[in-house]
Amino acid sequence: MRYLFGPVASRRLGYSLGVDIIPHKVCTLDCLYCQIGPTTLKTMERKPYVEAGPVLAELEEILANKVQIDCITFSGSGEPTLNSCLGDIITGIKKMCSIPVTVLTNGTLLNLPEVRAGLMQADIVCPSFDAATDAAFRRINRPHDSLTLDLMIQGLKSFRQKFLGKIYLEVMLARGINDSPQELAAFAEILPEFGADRIQINTVIRPAAEDGVWAVNPVILEHARKLFGPNAEIIGGFLKERSLHEQENIADRIVQLVGRHPSTADDICAALGLTADLVHEYLTQLLTQGRIIKTIHADSTFYRVFGFPSVIPDGRMDVEK
């Protein structure tokens, strides 16, 4: 497979089949926290990096294998809206299957009508919005010279006016870069104007493009959540800090996840955004209660629900041991 990967467990989206239609690493930004390394081509020019045909041929092959997929997600080696065929590819996917399509985008090209039009058939669009002031925008996102925060803001607003699917806006906070009281207050002022269905607050919990980029203190994350309004949620780590009620939901969410798809502890951490310690604690508890069982497959331990032989991540059928 050249353009599709996975399905992989995603912190936000469950089991997600990835679509990567941009060469490494072409982007309009060069974010300090980027997990895929420094931008090698910073550009605003859209090109047909790959057309719909080869991508849809790969999808046809994967669908024929009947692997369970919760969603199809455009992400990968750069900014997907830089591919001028994105709209055709989404249209093609929608003709082939009913799996929801999600696009992770940095949102910088949403001011272009053709980009907005190409995204109209997606089910969920997750744009990033990491800075509410020009200074922070330049600091954290290191944008292409022709890009301004104002253009981004206009694009996000225009997109919401026509797009009927869900918008999950991600705000990545980094310690000492965009988490000051002034920056958080500026976010709180502008965020309601985007009409996002969810505001997902994240922080740097994976290795970043640059050294010295650190996660924000959990107390500040919680402060930001309250400040950003009722549809804001924290999707980074630190779930240990949450209430008992939310922790009870974690047990149910783990059972639901492994009931749909046998998962390793790492998959569960990634899919639900939980720390390894916390997942270990819950898995021990759920095994003792008999709500889940363990299966060893190809030297990995998978957790699953008893009595349901189902497809394991490599696509083969698993059986009770």
Rank residues 37 and 259 by Cβ distance to ligand SF4 and give the closer one.
37
Minimum gap (Å) between residue 62 Cβ and ligand SF4: 24
At 111, list the tokens: 């001011």
- Nearest distance in Å: CB 34, ligand SF4: 3
Minimum CB distance to ligand SF4, residue 298 (Å): 31
Residue 50 CA to residue 274 CA, distance in Å, equals 35
Residue closer to ligand SF4, measured from CB, 141 or 263: 141
Residue 202 Cβ, how far from ligand SF4 at the closest point, in Å? 11
Per-residue tokens: 144: 């292409």
- Token pair belonging to 152: 């981004």
Q: How far is the CB of 35 from ligand SF4 (least distance, A)?
A: 7
Residues that bind ligand SF4 (CB under 6 A): 27, 29-31, 34, 36, 39, 78-79, 106
Closer by beta carbon to ligand SF4, 41 or else 219: 41
For residues 152 and 196, which CB has a smaller minimum distance to ligand SF4 in the complex? 152
Q: Between residues 81 and 263, which has the closer beta carbon with respect to ligand SF4? A: 81
Q: How far apart are CA 261 and CA 139, in angstroms?
A: 40
Shortest distance, position 316 Cβ to ligand SF4, whole Å: 33
Q: Please report the sign of the dihedral spanned by the C-alpha atoms of residue 139, residue 141, residue 147, residue 151.
A: negative
Q: Which is nearer to ligand SF4, 27 or 56 (CB)?
A: 27
Residue placing its CB nearer to ligand SF4 in the complex, 71 or 126: 126
The dihedral of CA 271, 274, 277, 282: what is its sign? negative
Structure tokens at 192: 């309601």
Q: State the nearest-atom distance from the C-beta of 39 to ligand SF4, in Å.
A: 5
Handedness of CA 310, 313, 319, 320 (dihedral sign): negative
